[in-house]
Structure 1
Amino acid sequence: MRRLGLALQIALTYIGTIVGAGFASGREILQFFTRFGAVAALTIVLAAALFAWLGAKMMLLAREIGAQSYEDLNMALFGPRFGKLVSYFMMLVLLGVTGVMLAGAGSVFSEHLNASYQLGLAVTLLACFLLLRKGMHAILLVNTVVVPIMLLFTLLVMWHTTRAPGADRWLELTNDYSPWTLWLSPLLYTAFNLTLAQAVLVPLGARIQDRGAIRLGALLGGIGIGFMLLVGHIALSANMPGISQFAIPMGGIARQLGMVAQWIYIFLIYSEIFTTLIADVYGLSLQVRSRFNWPRDLLILAILGVSFLLSQIGFGTLLSTLYPIFGFVSLGWLALMIRRSARSRHRTP
């Protein structure tokens, strides 16, 4: 029972770290999966399997080398010289992502709550700072609350979709994309999200001594991510092609579920932004602290300050600039993780 409880905590944190604002909005599902038609269900299965397998390998490797931050993992994968370069690049991108998430939080306040964009930034920064003072415990706690609500909303969407016309359209949609583009898409999606997830999964894996709990947690996390991807894909497919015109496709589906569901969805969008934000700030603070012996609170304030400055650029501009670049660089990281996993398989009991 203790192992199962620990595995569930790992799984919920894993899901909450992967499922960010792009996922909850439906934009990532549409971009990486639904636009490829019926074959997308198979690519979702592939992505879920990679999440379960490589998520476990990442945490086990972090445990094996006693990693203090994601830089230690990158040095183990790339070697001392290139590992540091990759970590510096990751630090810049994670700073950019924190700016994106903070800008997204401000956008939720301005677009859905009729409040000031700057008020949204201020509330989010204060909540983030107060929670992160508690360290990894706060991240585990937030995801333990948010992810079950997200799963319940996913079940609600699934129930609504099965009763609506076009529920089986996900089995019939066609596409004109090449097989190369189709099968590269889930690899890009997995690589990008797993690389970002290092910020939390590496320190999480390093502090857990139970290898079985890590494996089970990664498996449950991969299944949960795959389930949510598949339900989102089926719901979006039922509303294709019109739903692809929405900036927030899942928002259009949520409106069909009634006012209560809309408010739950707004809460989830904000929560997913917030969980990604605290995960990235936490990972960045660990890396910077390994170089400079600054007080933890001062580091968190400094990172949040940079994020605030970046958030003034705006959500859409940051998203469209940073994410494509990081996605392709992440493919190299994914290839090295797979290579390392294959080489260490015979040594893993």
Structure 2
Amino acid sequence: MSAGAWRIALLFSVISLGSAYLNGYEWLRFFSFFGSWGTIGIVLTSIGISWFTYAILRFCHQRGLTSLHELFVHLFGSKLAPSFSVLVYVILLAYLGTVIGQQAVLQADHRYALLVVCSLCFTAFWLARRGMNEMVRAAWLLLILGLACIGLIFTEQRHVPVPSLSYQLNGYWILSACYYLALHLLLSVVALLPLITRLPTPAAIRMGIGLGGLFLFFMTMLGHAALLAYWHEIHASAIPLKEILSRMIPYAAPVHTLVSLGHSGLVLAALFYGLTVPVAERYDLQLTPMLLVMSIATAAFALFPLWTEAFTSMPYTAATYCGMLILAVYCWRYKV
């Protein structure tokens, strides 16, 4: 497999899992809460994210599109594209700031939360400035460590109860799966667009997305099984996987915190890179000042979760509906 395909596979795995996947709360909220229906949701979501990400990236590759703005020109027209591009940039920065702000509150003492936010933004700035090779190396390491953290849970608990299909017999699991798909589709397209510009054929995109989608499915199913195995102990927790590991091994908590924060920093770096590189290349701008502005703006948005939880759901909702709108317009215009 080519180096380009490996890069796409690794970055797609990192982004589609989510910046805070090792907390386990996203899996709990979108899938495990619905029992066996959540398992079906994982299957459909893994296929959906992989398929639509590949379809949109192939579409961009065939037409030589290198940025969100150019993609939006094809989807929404030249009049709406500039305004919508700016809106999506602001929403994504607000979303990223909210995510790392919540991570800082959950993973560290509140007195050190601001320090954690600044450290994550600096790490993301440094990684994005170093380039794709550095991010790929970090992706290898963090995915292996994340897999080890989740796999460790099954050394003690190997029985996973399978809830009856009569539990949560409603359509909400489909909505949850769609929300997860829309949000992570948007993030994946943003992060992977700079990687496809120099690929000679779409074959590397197909191979990379396929391999990354398999890893997404495997990791999500593994985390889902761990949550079901300890359901009664962690169903109300905001960091269920960390809680499980802390009960098993006393020193697991700091290791989990470092890996989880490292993964968040890598997702932040990949999205910074995806947002800035196309603009820098298009307008012949220097990358470092743009990354610095992104880091400062994200840190500013991260202050809101440190002060109050009143508005933390708004960036998540806005980013999710942006993803749904892009997907709907793409399917409508190109008859997918």
TM-score, length-scaled by structure 2: 0.88
Q: Deviations over 1:292-316 (max 9, x none)?
A: 5542111111111112222222255
Q: Tell me the distance in 1 between the aligned counterparts of 2:189 and 2:6.
A: 19
- Partner letter of residue 278 of structure 1? A
1:98: Cα distance to partner?
Answer: 2.8
Q: Tell me the distance in 1 between the aligned counterparts of 2:5 and 2:95.
A: 27
1:79: Cα distance to partner?
Answer: 2.7
1:56: Cα distance to partner?
Answer: 1.6
Counterpart residue number, 2:140: 144
1:216: Cα distance to partner?
Answer: 1.4
**Is 1:301 the counterpart of 2:292 in the alignment?**
yes
Change (3 A) 1:247 1:106: closer
- Partner letter of residue 148 of structure 1? I
CA contact (8 A) 1:106 1:120 kept: yes
Counterpart residue number, 1:124: 120
Q: Deviations over 1:21-62 (max 9, x none)?
A: 342211111111111121211111001111221222222222
1:16: Cα distance to partner?
Answer: 0.8
- Which structure's residues are more often helix, by fraction? 1
Q: Deviations over 1:294-342 (max 9, x none)?
A: 4211111111111222222225555322112322332222223445675
**Is 1:18 the counterpart of 2:10 in the alignment?**
no
- Partner letter of residue 97 of structure 2? G
Is there any run of 5+ residues in structure 1 with no aligned partner, and where?
Answer: 344-349
Change (3 A) 1:63 1:237: same
Counterpart residue number, 1:321: 314
1:108: Cα distance to partner?
Answer: 6.1
User: How many residues matched?
Assistant: 334
Change (3 A) 1:9 1:295: closer
Deviates more, 1:41-50 or 1:312-321: 312-321
Change (3 A) 1:220 1:136: same
- Partner letter of residue 62 of structure 1? C
CA contact (8 A) 2:98 2:315 kept: no
- Partner letter of residue 315 of structure 2? L
CA contact (8 A) 1:62 1:203 kept: no
RMSD of the alignment, in Å?
2.6
Change (3 A) 1:119 1:231: same
CA contact (8 A) 1:35 1:175 kept: no
- Partner letter of residue 54 of structure 1? F
TM-score, length-scaled by structure 1: 0.85
CA contact (8 A) 2:66 2:197 kept: yes
Change (3 A) 1:172 1:196: same
1:194: Cα distance to partner?
Answer: 0.8
Q: Tell me the distance in 2 between the aligned counterparts of 1:290 and 1:85.
A: 20
Q: Tell me the distance in 1 between the aligned counterparts of 2:137 and 2:334.
A: 30
Instruction: Give the fraction of aligned pairs with identical amino acids, expressed as a percent.
Output: 23
1:291: Cα distance to partner?
Answer: 7.1
Q: Tell me the distance in 2 between the aligned counterparts of 1:102 and 1:116.
A: 13
